[in-house]
Amino acid sequence: MYYISEIREYDKKRKKLILNDGEEVLLLYHSELKEARLSEGDTIREEEWDRLLQEVLIPRGKKKALYYLKDSDKSRSQVREKLRQGFYPAEAVEAVMDFLEQHHFVDDRRFAEQYILSAKGKKSGREILYKLLEKGVPEQAARELLEELIPGQEEAEACRKALKSRLGGKNAPDRLQELPYQEKQKICAALYRRGFSREAVEQAFASFFENEA
């Protein structure tokens, strides 16, 4: 049960309902508010809340999510955040996400695969991983797909960590750029002796000339 603490103008078409002194916030179009016959100071009982969810908020949330997905795949986390930004209540968000997943409109693996393939050859594996995590893809799934689609990524990351440790950790990029050519060659030889491939070593060196994330 919710108490409408305040109703504010949000924009020309919508009003913001503050429920239970901020416990929940809704956006309703003027026509929706009029249809629901809700006013400041009213109490929204459970059956009225359920009707509002089923007849107004969930159908509108589905349309909003499908429009958001119209031009490109998004991660589940991105879609959830878009709905939250629209002040959809948790029950509506979950119902919309269930609908999208059941009909395969959202699929984190498919989204990650497409992103990796489009970024492959343009970004380093480390950059791709960072972007996938930023977009809400679970880390383990992102790493597994990277290794599957860009073989050798785990070796490259391990080599990068070994190089960073050898160069003193935090200031590794600066130290690497200051080293003379002969010293860099010695470090390469040491990494080869540890079993890293030439490709992994080259990727590790190249990564320090990118911006640190």
Residue 99 and residue 72 in contact, taking contact as beta carbons nearer than 8 Å: no
In this prediction, residues 119-147 reach a mean pLDDT of: 84
Residue 61 and residue 32 in contact, taking contact as beta carbons nearer than 8 Å: no
Residue in the structure block whose two tokens are 């395969």:
104
Query: What integer pLDDT is reported at residue 85 of this predicted model?
Result: 95
Query: What integer pLDDT is reported at residue 16 of this predicted model?
Result: 96
The token pair that represents 57 in the structure block: 């908020």
Query: What integer pLDDT is reported at residue 56 of this predicted model?
Result: 97
Where are the chain's structural domains?
A: 1-44, 56-106, 108-149, 156-207
Q: What angle do CA 24, 26, 27 make, to 5 degrees?
A: 160
CATH class, 56-106 region: mainly alpha
Over residues 160-208, the pLDDT tens digits come to: 888 888 887 667 767 777 888 888 888 889 888 887 778 788 888 887 7
Residue 142 and residue 105 in contact, taking contact as beta carbons nearer than 8 Å: no
Nearest to 158 by CA among 209, 195, 210: 195
Bigger pLDDT: 173 vs 146: 146
Query: What integer pLDDT is reported at residue 22 of this predicted model?
Result: 87
In this prediction, residues 70-95 reach a mean pLDDT of: 95
Q: Residue 212: pLDDT band by 50, 70, 90 thresholds?
A: very low
Count of C-beta atoms within a 10 Å radius of residue 193: 8
Query: What integer pLDDT is reported at residue 181 of this predicted model?
Result: 84
Share of the chain above pLDDT 90, in %: 55
Output the average pLDDT for the chain.
88
Q: Is the pLDDT reported for residue 19 higher than 80?
A: yes
DSSP H/E element including 3: strand 2-9
Bigger pLDDT: 92 vs 130: 92
Query: What integer pLDDT is reported at residue 177 of this predicted model?
Result: 77
Bigger pLDDT: 203 vs 42: 42
Q: Is the pLDDT reported for residue 211 higher than 80?
A: no
Q: Is the pLDDT reported for residue 92 higher than 60?
A: yes
Query: What integer pLDDT is reported at residue 213 of this predicted model?
Result: 41
In this prediction, residues 83-91 reach a mean pLDDT of: 96
Residue 212 and residue 130 in contact, taking contact as beta carbons nearer than 8 Å: no
